[in-house]
Amino acid sequence: MDNITSNAGNLPNRIKKALITRFSLRMDQADDREIDRNIREGLELNGTYLWTLMCAILIASIGLNINSTAVIIGAMLISPLMGPIMGIGYGVGIYDFRLIHKALKNLAIATVISFITSALYFYITPLNSAQSELLARTSPTIWDLLIALFGGLAGIIGATRKEKSNVIPGVAIATALMPPICTAAYGFVHGNIGFVLGAFYLYLLNCIYIAVPSILIVWFIHPVARREINDKLRFRLRLFLFSTVFVSFVPSVFIAVNFVHNQVFDRNVSDFVSKELVFSKTFPIDYKSSYKNKTIDVVLVGRQLDENTIAEIENTLPKYGLAGTRLIFKQVGMHQEDINAIKTALAKDILADNQKEAEKKEQILQSLQANARSAEKKAREEKEKTYMNMAREIYIQYPEINEVLFADAYVSRQKDKNIDRIPAVVIISKHTLKKDTRTKIMKWLKFRLEEDRTKMIFINR
C-alpha cells in the first residue's frame, strides 16, 4: 500500500521529468565551438556565395515574372541569405559587436547585389504585368511576421544540432527572402513606389524576425563564445532590440486588420448578393465591391426595379454587416454604358468558355497524336525485328545470299486504275540461284509475311 502511494506521489515528478527530457534542446546540441564555426562560415561573402546569390535571384525573378510557384521555391532553396541573418542574431546573442558589424555589412551587400540583379532582369524582360505571386509580396501582414518568427526559431535550433538536417532549406522556403527583393526591384523599374516600400518592409520584417529567435536561443544555450558586458550596455542593447521589434511589428498589425476587414466585407457582400438580389424577372449579372469606398456596384438585366424595392433592399444591408455601405444599381435601359457593360461581361464569359473548350480539345488531340506516334513506333520496331530474324534465317540456309531488301511496293497495272501496295523482297546473291531454290524461298517468304501477293526479285552480283 505504501509503495502504491509512493508511486502515485512520484507520478507528477516522473511526467515532468519525461517532458523536460523530451523537449530539451540540450540532448543533441552540437559543441559550442562547432556552432560558432558553422555560423561564422555561413556569413562569408566569397565568390561562390555571390554567384549562388545572383543565380538564385534571377531564378526568383523569372518565377515571379511567369507566376510559377515551383520556380520561386527552387530559387528559395538555393538562396544563401539565411547565413548573414542568423549571423546577426548569433552576434547579438554572444555580444560580439565585430561579428554583428560583419554580418550586417555582408547582408547589406548581398541585398544590394540582389536588388541590382533583379532590376536588370525586369528592365530587359518583355513581360511587364504584375502577376499574383508578385502582388502577394506587396502587403505584408502579421502572418508573415509569425512565419518569419517560427521559421527563424526552427532555423537556429537546426543550426545548433549535431546532425544537420533539411531545416535551413525549409526555413528559406517558408520565410521567402528572395521574392520581396525581386518585387521591390520590379516596383523600382516600373516606377511603383508602393511595391518598393511594401516589398522592402516584408524583407525587413523577415530579417528581423528570423534574427530575434536566434538571439533568444543563443541566450538560452549560453555558448562559451558569449562575452561579458556591463549592465548598462546590456540594458541599452535589449532596449534597442525591443524597440526594433515593436516598431516593425505595429505596421504589420494595421495591414493585417485591414486585410481581415476586406475579407469579411467581401464575404458579407457575397452573402448579400446571393440572398437578397433574387428576383423573378431581374437578374444580377455582375457586381463589384470596394471596402475602401464602402460601395457595392451591381449590374442588373431584366425588368427595372422601382424605388420602393431598392429602398427595401438597402434596408437589409445592416443585417449582413454592411451598414453604411452605398448600394449602386446599374440597370439596362438607363444608360448606354450599362448595355456596353453587359455586352462586355457576356463576351468575356463566352470567350472564357470557348478558350476552355479549345484547350480541352487541344489536350485530347495531343494525347491522340502521342498515342498514334507511340503505336507507329512500336509497329515499326516489331516489323524491323521480324525482317531481321527472317534475314538471319535466310543467310543460315543459303550462305550464297549476300543481301535481303524488304520494302513496300506500290504497283500500277495497265488494265487497273488503282494502285496496290504489296510487300516486296529483293534477294541479292553471289551467283544465280537455282529455280527450285528460288521457289522454296518464295514460298517461305510468303508464308512468313502472311501475304500471297509478295513480290520477290532475285539479283546476282
Residue-wise pLDDT tens digits, 196-209 = 888 888 888 888 88
Query: Does 98 score more than 80 pLDDT?
Result: yes
Query: Does 175 score more than 70 pLDDT?
Result: no
Among 78, 74, 94, residue whose Cα is nearest residue 86 = 94
Among 410, 399, 440, 409, residue whose Cα is nearest residue 391 = 399
Type and span of the H or E element at 455: strand 455-460
The string of pLDDT tens digits covering residues 377-432 is 887 888 888 888 888 888 888 888 888 888 888 888 777 777 878 888 888 888 88
Query: Does 172 score more than 70 pLDDT?
Result: no
Q: What is the pLDDT confidence band of residue 185, given thresholds at 50, 70 and 90? A: very high
pLDDT for the residue 117: 93
pLDDT for the residue 6: 52
Q: How large is the average pLDDT for residues 180-189?
A: 90
pLDDT for the residue 151: 79
Q: How large is the average pLDDT for residues 342-351?
A: 68
Lowest mean per-residue pLDDT among 66-80, 217-231, 358-372: 358-372
Query: Does 211 score more than 90 pLDDT?
Result: no
Q: Is 448 exposed, middle or buried (0-12, 13-18, 19+ CB in 10 A)?
A: middle
Cα 55 to chain center, whole Å?
17
CA distance linking residue 284 with residue 351, whole number of Å: 20
- Which pTM value belongs to this model? 0.59
Query: Does 260 score more than 50 pLDDT?
Result: yes
Q: How many CA atoms lie within 13 A of 327 on its CB side?
A: 21
- CATH code for residues 263-338: 3.30.300
Walk across the sheet containing 295-302 and list its strands: 282-290, 295-302, 326-331
The string of pLDDT tens digits covering residues 106-161 is 999 989 999 999 999 999 988 787 777 787 777 777 787 888 888 778 777 777 77
Residue 427's CB: how many other CB atoms inside 10 A?
A: 22
279 three-state secondary structure = coil
Task: Mark 241-277 as b/e (b = at least 16 C-beta within 10 Å).
Answer: eeeeeeebeeebeebbeeeeeeeebeebbeebbeebb
The string of pLDDT tens digits covering residues 232-247 is 888 888 888 888 888 8
Mean of pLDDT over the chain: 80
pLDDT for the residue 334: 46
Q: How many CA atoms lie within 13 A of 131 on its CB side?
A: 15
Grid coordinates of 14: 516522473
Lowest mean per-residue pLDDT among 3-17, 221-235, 307-321: 3-17
Phi, psi (deg, nearest 5) at residue 338 = -65, -45
CA distance linking residue 152 with residue 89, whole number of Å: 10
Query: Does 271 score more than 80 pLDDT?
Result: yes
